[in-house]
Copies of this chain bind each other. A is one copy, B any other.
Amino acid sequence: MLDKSIQIGIVGLGLIGGSIAKNLSKKGYKVYANDLNEESLKNALNEKKIDGLLEDLDLKNPFILIFTIPVLSIKKELIRNNELLSKALCITDGLSVKNPLKNEIEGKRINTENFILSHPIAGSEKSGYANSEENLFKEKLVVITKLSGTSQTTEDICNDFWSLLGARTIQINSEDHDKYFAKTSHLPHLIAFALMSMISKSKGTKKEIFTGGGLKDFTRIASSDPKMWEDIFMSNQTNMLEVIKSFKSELDQLEKLIKENDSEKLNQFITSSKEFRDSLI
């Protein structure tokens, strides 16, 4: 259990950061945050979800610092908050791509003892402080990635932090993390954006049919925050190019079976996919 005297510093008060603030302020922790969006900060202050700005952190007493920002803002924010890095009890993040972040931190900092990476699997197509909610992390999974120098104490604090928020943690190394999420999260988002772009180019899209069919659920993720996804695709570049290639090869196979009227193999393909999907639920 985290001692109530530990302060919480949040860099980026969006969906993830805002949800942390709402949960921990209610539990009695002192929460400080900054964000480029002044309205979010003002609202959070008015609603008493944060106790002040990041500059109000009492640096003489222990604090956890968490970066919940778009992936490619991390470099800039690490520099901007440099003073806090060595003083923090524990530093973590909520970013969706880990390997470039790990390399960035390990390349720039000699001591990574108090640093550990986190990826809460709690995002949705909704974004921003306005959509944040106290119970966002309840029964969710958080993937933890250690840096080369991460201490056991830091790991324990990070686990306690997420557990306090209602989540469970599992550890995956940064390379496996990025490969895994390229396939299971980043590619599906890319597909949804591609499909929406394609449909937007054709005439006569009927809103009422769109809303009625399965397309609504299928393309929900295409409503996600563009800046967040631009950063994810770019920073996970190598894995993205690999999974796009693999996915296109699956499409090519299906295209061939349809073109050649190969009902039998087409049925086998669909049946295997269905069985695999059903086995995961």
Contact = CB atoms under 8 A, between A and B. Distances in A.
Interface of A: 121, 123-125, 140-141, 143, 170, 176, 180, 183-185, 187-202, 204-224, 226-227, 229-230, 233-234, 237, 240-241, 243-244, 246-248, 250-251, 253-255, 258-259, 261, 263, 266-267, 269-274, 276-278, 280-281
A219 to B, nearest CB: 6
A49 B253 CA distance: 42
A44 B58 CA distance: 70
A259 B241 contact: yes
B212 A140 contact: yes
Count copies of this chain in the complex. Answer: 2
A140 B211 CA distance: 10
Contacts of A234: 258, 261, 263, 266
A194 B274 contact: no
A250 B197 contact: yes
Nearest to A141: B212
Contacts of A143: 209
A214 B226 contact: no
Given A188-B219, A194-B250, A244-B258, 5 more contacts: A183-B199, A193-B254, A211-B281, A241-B259, A248-B248
A118 to B, nearest CB: 14
B184 A209 contact: yes
Contact of A217 (B217, B229, B271): B217
Contact of A124 (B123, B207, B214): B214
Interface centre among A214, A243, A266 (most CB of B within 10 A): A214
A273 B197 contact: yes
A190 to B, nearest CB: 6
21 contacts: A121-B209, A170-B208, A176-B204, A180-B206, A185-B215, A187-B195, A194-B251, A196-B273, A196-B276, A196-B277, A197-B272, A205-B280, A214-B220, A214-B221, A223-B281, A226-B270, A233-B266, A234-B261, A234-B266, A241-B259, A244-B251
